[in-house]
């Protein structure tokens, strides 16, 4: 029998400092559902601003902390502060990510490491830090943002290191789900197709949108709010029987 979902609970959302990102939309939807929210982002001012915004709009507790998720010590300090100031951490949304449109033959080791440090190492460090509390309470929800690029080998904006790091997230989530499922913790991924956020290299022009939606059944790019809605469901009380899954949210561009 799964542990009951508490009324007082916190979700940690990484990479939610961007005004137009999936992380911010997820934080807002979580707060609307009554979650306390902790935002970890390299942009300390952005994290604080989004936390203040959702706290005021939805009358929940929220904090924003400037955190480099690839820095183990910084993650430890940030999560420690969340644990001290907010209700128990039940949810984790690993959204922090960086893109890389560099062609492979122009790729440096430093660029490869930059992408993997945020997209994969950061997910590992934050997940590893919050998991002990989830396991102790026998309840947790972890959702990480992969990408259609992991499934198709790129083809949207970013190239090899981005696709490889996002594919690594799927394997990471599936393996972790096996280990922590008996402790009441679920681990899943979402794999968005083209979404109009700044990770696509800035705002999408109508011309770029048209190029990205060739062959797509729904005929348009997605929104951060649509991806956030799926993530919040997977973080919620009704998703306890879903784990080790990768949810496509791509308008039909990739049929798995």
User: Tell me, what's the pLDDT at 1?
Assistant: 67
Number of CB atoms found within 10 A of residue 153's CB: 12
* Dihedral sign from CA coordinates of 120, 124, 127, 129: negative
Question: For the chain (length 256 residues), average pLDDT per consecutive 10?
Answer: 89 93 97 98 97 98 98 98 98 96 95 98 98 98 96 82 96 98 98 80 62 76 95 98 97 84
At residue 2, the pLDDT reads 74
Give pLDDT, residue 109.
98
Closest to 69 (Cα-Cα) out of 31, 46, 98, 49 = 98
H or E element, residue 209:
helix 206-212
Residues in Cβ contact with 140 at an 8 Å cutoff, skipping those fewer than 6 apart: 89, 90, 91, 92, 130, 131, 133, 134, 180, 183, 184, 185, 186
pLDDT at 208: 66
Q: Can you give the pLDDT at residue 204?
A: 61
> Which domains, from first to last, does the chain contain?
10-249 (3.40.50.720)
SS3 of 161-180: HHHHHHHHHHHHHHHHHHHH
- Cα angle 65, 62, 188 (rounded to 5 degrees) comes to 80
Quick one: pLDDT at residue 203?
A: 58
Q: Which is the catalytic residue, given 157, 162, 241, 247? A: 162
What pLDDT sits at residue 97?
Answer: 95
Q: CA–CA separation, 35 vs 97, rounded Å? A: 23
Active-site residue flag, 241? no
Contact 186, 3 (CB under 8 A): no
- Rg of the chain, C-alpha, whole Å: 17
């Amino acid at each position: 029998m799964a542990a009951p979902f508490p009324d007082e609970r916190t979700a940690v959302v990484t990479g939610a400092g961007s005004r137009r990102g999936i992380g911010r939309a997820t934080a807002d939807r979580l707060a609307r559902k009554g979650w306390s929210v902790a935002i970890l982002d390299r942009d300390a001012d952005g994290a604080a601003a989004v936390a203040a915004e959702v706290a005021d709009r939805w009358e929940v507790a929220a904090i924003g902390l400037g955190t480099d998720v690839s820095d183990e010590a910084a993650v430890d300090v940030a999560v420690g502060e969340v644990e001290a100031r907010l209700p128990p951490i039940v949810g984790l949304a690993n959204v922090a990510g960086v893109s890389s449109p560099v062609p492979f033959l122009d790729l440096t080791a430093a660029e490869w490491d930059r992408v993997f440090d945020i997209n994969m190492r950061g997910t590992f460090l934050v997940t590893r830090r919050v998991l002990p509390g989830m396991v102790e309470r026998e309840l947790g929800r972890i959702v990480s943002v992969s990408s259609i690029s992991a499934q198709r080998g790129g083809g949207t904006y970013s190239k090899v290191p981005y696709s490889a790091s996002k594919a690594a997230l799927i394997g990471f989530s599936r393996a972790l789900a096996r280990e922590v499922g008996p402790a009441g913790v679920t681990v899943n991924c979402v794999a968005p197709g083209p979404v109009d956020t700044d990770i696509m290299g800035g705002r999408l022009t109508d011309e770029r949108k048209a190029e990205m939606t060739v062959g797509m059944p729904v005929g348009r790019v997605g929104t951060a709010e649509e991806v956030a809605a799926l993530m919040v469901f997977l973080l919620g009380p009704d998703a306890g029987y879903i784990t080790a899954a990768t949810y496509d949210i791509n308008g039909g561009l990739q049929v798995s």
